[in-house]
Amino acid sequence: MTTDPIAADLAALFPAREAIPAEHRPQAAAYERLYLLDGRVRAWEGPLAEVPAAFSVREGDALVRPVVGRVPAMDEAAVLAALESCRRAWDEGRGDWPTRSVAERIAAVEKFTARMREAREEVVRLLMWEIGKTLEDSRKEFDRTVEYIGRTVEALKAMDRDYSRFAVDGGVVAQVRRAPLGVVLSMGPFNYPLNETYTTLLPALIMGNVVLVKPPRLGSLIHQPLLQAFAESFPPGVVNFIYGSGPEITPPLMQSGAVDVLAFIGSSKAATTLKKQHPRPHRLRGVLGLDAKNPALVMADADLDVAVRECVSGALSYNGQRCTALKILFVHESVAGPFLEKFSAAVAALPLGMPWEPGARITPLPGHGKAEAMAAYVRDAVERGARVVNPGGGQAAASLFRPAVLYPVAPGMKVYDVEQFGPVVPVCPYKDEEEFLAYVTASSSGQQVSLFGRDAEKIAGLIDLLANQVCRINLNAQCQRGPDTLPFAGRKDSAEGTLSISAALRSFSIRSLVAGKDDPEGRGLLQQIVAGRLSRYLRADYLG
C-alpha cells in the first residue's frame, strides 16, 4: 500500500466488505448467467466473464476489488443465434411486432415500464457497484429513463395524430406515416448504461423495430433484473440480449449484413470499424453518439462565481465521465489568477467517497487502469510545462483519483486535444477569442461549447460563428444533454443522427405513404379501407 500521505488518506476511504451497508449490496448472484433469447430468459452454460466492482474493499492491509457478478461470455455461434431470432421476429417486415398497430405497441411498452419500476432499487445498487455512480445520480438515471419512456409514448401519440390526416395535392390523395427499419443493434456506453441504452432501445421498439442489445462491458449486470420484464412484455425475438467481448462478437453480426440500424454510443474509431464491417453500407443507418471535447470560454467580463460553479459541475460531475462534460477550459489571461483560485478551492471542497455515502461527489473510477490513465495525462502535461494547481490534485489510491486541475495547458500536451473522459481539468490562458475559435474550428469534435461572459454584442458574434461548428451553445451554463425535448446532436466526429424524445422516433423509422388518385374511385377505396378498419397502417384513429 502506498506510503504517500495524501494517497494513504484516499486508500482509507475504501471500506471493509462487512462495513458496506446491507441496503446498498446488490443481489447480483440472482442474475448471474442470464440472457434473453427468443422470448425466454435462459441460463448460459458456457464460460462466464467476471464483472468487477468500481471500488476496492479492505482485506487486512490490502485493497482488493470485489467481483459484483458474472455474465455470459458468448461466442460467435451464440450471438448469431440471437441475431437469427431477431430476423425471425422481423420476418422481412411481416412479423407480429412490426405489423402491430401503434396502440398495441404502446401498450407493450407501458407494460414493460410498469415492470421496470419494480426493479428500481436493484438496478440502482448495481449502478453504484458496477460503474461507481453516486446513489443520488444512480436514482436520477433510473427515474429519468422511466420518464423518458413515458414522454416517448406521448410523443408517438402526438405524431400519430398528426399523421392521421390525408393530404391532397396535384390530383393525388395520400397519407404519410412512419414505418420501422428492421433489425437494430443497440450498444450503449458504460457511463450511462441504462439511460443511453434505453433512450435508443425503447424508441426503436415502439416504432416497430426488433432490437439486439449488446450491453457495455462495464454496466452489463444492470440489465439483468429487467430481462424478465422484456420477456413478458414483447413477442419472442423482438428483444434479445447478448454478452461478450465486443471485438469478438460484433464483427460476425455486422458482417452478416442483417443489421439495418446501428445504435451505438462510444468512440468514433469503434463506430467506423463497425460500419466498415457491414457489406451493405448504404442499407445501414447509424444513430451514433461519439467523441466530444467540449470547451468552455471564460471571458474577461465573466461572473467568476457563476463560471466556477458551472465549470466545476460541468467538468467533474460523475468524475468527468460524460460525453457532455466540459473537457477543456479557456480562461482570459486577465482573470486566470482569480478564476484558478476560486476553481481550485471549489474542486478541493468536493467530497470523495464511496457511491452510497451521502454527499460523495468524487467516487472510484470503473474499469482497470483508469486512474493510471488519468495520472499519465497529468504527467505528460507537467513534463511539458503545466502544473497541478489544486492541492493534492492527481493523487490516487487504487481506483480513487483526486481531480487534477492543470495550468497552463498548451498545444502539444495530450489533454489539449484528447478527450480524457475523467477527473483531469485542463485550463488554457488566452488573449483573444480568436484563439478559442481556432481551437473549436480545428477540433474533430463538434458537440457543444459553453460561453461565460456578459457582453451581449461579443457573445452574439461568437454565437454566429460557433453555430456552424457545434450543435449546442450554452450561455453562462455547463454543457448538458437535457432537457430531453431538445435536440441532442453533434457535428464532425461527435454524432450521427439526432436524439431527443421526438427525434429518436424519427431516427428509428422512415416515412412511408399510401397514395391514390384524387377521383371518386380512388377516394372511395381509401374510405372503404379506413371506415372498415381493414388496415393497421392506413387509418384515421385518434390516439388519446
H or E element, residue 6: helix 5-11
Rounded Cα–Cα distance for residues 31 and 225 (Å) = 7
Averaged pLDDT for residues 228-255: 97
Give me the pLDDT at residue 31, please. 87
pLDDT of 5 > 60? The answer is: no
All cell numbers assigned to 321: 465521465
To 10 degrees, the CA torsion angle through 433, 437, 440, 443?
A: -120
- Confirm if 424 and 378 have CB atoms less than 8 A apart: yes
Q: What counts of helices (H) and strands (E) characterise the chain?
A: 17, 26
- The yes-or-no verdict on residue 2 having pLDDT over 60 is no
3-state secondary structure 496-522: ECCECHHHHHHHCEEEEEEEEECCHHH
Question: Which tens digits make up the pLDDT trace of 346-396?
Answer: 999 999 999 999 999 999 999 999 999 999 999 999 999 999 999 999 999
For residue 3, pLDDT over 50 is answered with no
Residues 186-210 have a mean pLDDT of 97
Strand-pair partners of 514: 175
Residue 405 CB partners (closer than 8 Å, separation 6+): 340, 343, 344, 347, 388, 389, 390, 393, 425, 427
Q: Mean pLDDT throughout 263-279?
A: 96
Q: Is residue 14 pLDDT above 90, yes or no?
A: yes
Report cis status (omega within 30 of 0) of the bond before 423.
no
Task: Using DSSP bridges, classify how beta strands 183-187 and 210-213 pair: parallel, antiparallel or unpaired.
Answer: parallel
Model pLDDT, residue 28: 82
Distances in whole angstroms, Cα of residue 464 to Cα of each of 282, 329, 406, 472, 493: 34, 20, 30, 12, 21
Residue 542: its pLDDT value, please?
A: 79
Q: Is the pLDDT of residue 168 over 80?
A: yes
Taking only the tens place, the pLDDT of each residue in 415-428 is 999 999 999 999 99
Mean pLDDT of 245-272: 96
Which residues, including other chains, have CB under 8 Å from residue 346's CB and lie 6 or more apart?
Answer: 308, 309, 312
* Mean pLDDT to the nearest integer, 339-343: 98
pLDDT at 8 over 90: no
User: Mean per-residue pLDDT for 178-207?
Assistant: 97
SS3 content of the chain, % helix, strand, coil (to 5): 40, 20, 35
The whole-model pTM stands at 0.95
Range of lowest pLDDT (126-130, 275-279, 536-540): 536-540
Of 179, 49, 85, 189, nearest to 133 by C-alpha is 189
pLDDT confidence of residue 6: 58
Give the pLDDT score at 543. 82
Judge whether 286 and 271 are in contact, CB under 8 Å.
yes
> HEC string of 71-97?
EECCCHHHHHHHHHHHHHHHHHHCCCC
3-state secondary structure of 287: strand
| Percent over 70 (pLDDT), the chain | 99
- The partner residues of 57 in beta bridges, in order of sequence, read 64
Tell me how far apart the alpha carbons of residues 375 and 361 are, in angstroms, rounded to a whole number: 19
For residue 406, what pLDDT is reported?
98
30 band by pLDDT with thresholds 50, 70 and 90: confident
The answer to whether residues 135 and 355 touch, using CB atoms and an 8 Å cutoff, is yes
Phi/psi region, residue 191 (left: phi>0; alpha: psi -120 to 50; beta: rest), is alpha
Chain mean pLDDT for the chain: 96
SS (H, E, C) 144-193: HHHHHHHHHHHHHHHHHHHHCCCEEECCEEEEEEEEECCEEEEECCCCCC
Sheet with strand 210-213: strands edge to edge: 239-241, 210-213, 183-187, 261-265, 285-289, 495-496
Average pLDDT over residues 279-285: 93
Q: Give the pLDDT of residue 61.
A: 86
The pLDDT value recorded for residue 401 is 97
- pLDDT exceeds 70 at position 460: yes
Question: Which residue type sits at 253?
Answer: L
Rounded to whole angstroms, how far apart are CA atoms 241 and 74? 11
Query: DSSP string spanning 299-347?
Result: -TT--HHHHHHHHHHHHHGGGG-STTSEEEEEEETTTHHHHHHHHHHHH
pLDDT at 7: 78
- Give the per-residue pLDDT at 425: 98
